[in-house]
Structure 1
Amino acid sequence: MTVCTSLAEADLDHLEGLISDDSDALRAFNAFYVLLARHRRALDSSRFRVVYLRHAARFTSVPMRAVLDSDLALLDPMGPNLETALRHAASALTAYPDNLALVAHHARVLAEYGWSGAEVAASELLAALAQVERAVEISPEQARYRAVRAQLAALTGDFDTALASIQRAMDLEDSAQFGYAVRVVEYHRIRADIVLRRETQAIRSGLRETAERLEASVKEQVQRVAQESRAHEQAEITRLRSETLGSLGLLAAVIAFIVTSTQIAKDLPLHDALRLLAGLAGMLTLVFTAFGAVFGVGRLTRLVLPGILGVALFALAWLSG
Structure 2
Amino acid sequence: MEAHPEPEPALRAILDDQGARARTRFAALYALLLRLRREERHAEYAAVVREHEAEFGSEPYFHTFRAIAARTRGDLASLRSAVEYSRHAVAAMPDVPAVVHQLAAFWVEYLERLETPQRTHDFDEVERHVDRAISLSQGRVAHYFETKGRVLALRGEFEAARSAVAQAIELEPRASRDYLRRLTQYQATRVRIDLMQERARWAQAHERFRTELAEFKAQQLQLLGLLAAVVAFIATAGNIASQAGGIYGIRLMLVASGAVGVVFGTFSLVNNSRVRRVAVAVVFGCALIGAGIFVPASWMS
With the shorter chain as reference, the TM-score category is 0.7 to 0.9
Q: Deviations over 1:104-150 (max 9, x none)?
A: 11111011101111554321221220221233244323111101101
The code of the aligned residue for 2:125 comes to A
TM-score (norm 2): 0.72
Query: Counterpart of 1:128?
Result: 126
Check 1:182–1:204 CA distance in 2 against 1; reply closer, same or farther (3 A cut).
Answer: same
SS of equivalent to 2:6? helix
| 1:165 to 2:164 alignment | yes
Query: Counterpart of 2:194?
Result: 195
Structure-1 separation of matches of 2:156 and 2:79: 21
Runs of at least 4 residues of structure 1 off by over 6 A? 77-80
| 1:30 to 2:27 alignment | yes
| 1:233 to 2:232 alignment | yes
The code of the aligned residue for 2:139 comes to P
Q: Deviations over 1:208-252 (max 9, x none)?
A: 112112212321331232123213211221023213458xxxxxx
| CA radius of gyration, larger in | 1
The code of the aligned residue for 1:13 comes to P
Which of 81, 85, 90 does residue 82 from structure 2 map onto? 85
Query: Counterpart of 1:295?
Result: none
The answer to whether the Cα contact below 8 Å between 2:76 and 2:110 also exists between their aligned partners in 1 is no
Query: Counterpart of 1:144?
Result: 143
Q: CA deviation at 1:9?
A: 4.2
Q: CA deviation at 1:76?
A: 2.3
Check 1:118–1:221 CA distance in 2 against 1; reply closer, same or farther (3 A cut).
Answer: closer
Q: Deviations over 1:171-229 (max 9, x none)?
A: 22234322322222222222222211111111111111121122123213312321232
Query: Counterpart of 1:316?
Result: none
Which of 52, 59, 64 does residue 62 from structure 1 map onto? 59
Check 1:32–1:7 CA distance in 2 against 1; reply closer, same or farther (3 A cut).
Answer: farther
The answer to whether the Cα contact below 8 Å between 1:100 and 1:135 also exists between their aligned partners in 2 is yes
Structure-1 separation of matches of 2:204 and 2:168: 29
The answer to whether the Cα contact below 8 Å between 2:97 and 2:134 also exists between their aligned partners in 1 is no
Matches within 5 A, 1:307-318: none
The code of the aligned residue for 1:11 comes to P
Query: Counterpart of 2:13?
Result: 17
Structure-2 separation of matches of 1:185 and 1:80: 27
Structure-1 separation of matches of 2:132 and 2:25: 31
Check 1:17–1:74 CA distance in 2 against 1; reply closer, same or farther (3 A cut).
Answer: same
Matches within 5 A, 1:179-194: 179-194=178-193
What do you get for the CA RMSD once the two structures are aligned?
A: 2.4
TM-score (norm 1): 0.68
Structure-2 separation of matches of 1:149 and 1:25: 37
Q: CA deviation at 1:42?
A: 2.7
Query: Counterpart of 1:43?
Result: 40
Structure-2 separation of matches of 1:75 and 1:112: 12
Structure-1 separation of matches of 2:3 and 2:83: 28
Stretches of structure 1 that go unaligned for 5 or more consecutive residues are 247-321
Identity rate, percent:
22
Paired residues in the alignment total 242
SS of equivalent to 1:10? coil
Structure-2 separation of matches of 1:19 and 1:132: 33
Query: Counterpart of 1:98?
Result: 95
The answer to whether the Cα contact below 8 Å between 1:42 and 1:182 also exists between their aligned partners in 2 is no
Query: Counterpart of 2:277?
Result: none
The answer to whether the Cα contact below 8 Å between 1:42 and 1:179 also exists between their aligned partners in 2 is no
The code of the aligned residue for 1:98 comes to D
The answer to whether the Cα contact below 8 Å between 1:74 and 1:80 also exists between their aligned partners in 2 is no
Stretches of structure 2 that go unaligned for 5 or more consecutive residues are 246-301
Structure-1 separation of matches of 2:149 and 2:183: 14
The answer to whether the Cα contact below 8 Å between 1:73 and 1:80 also exists between their aligned partners in 2 is no
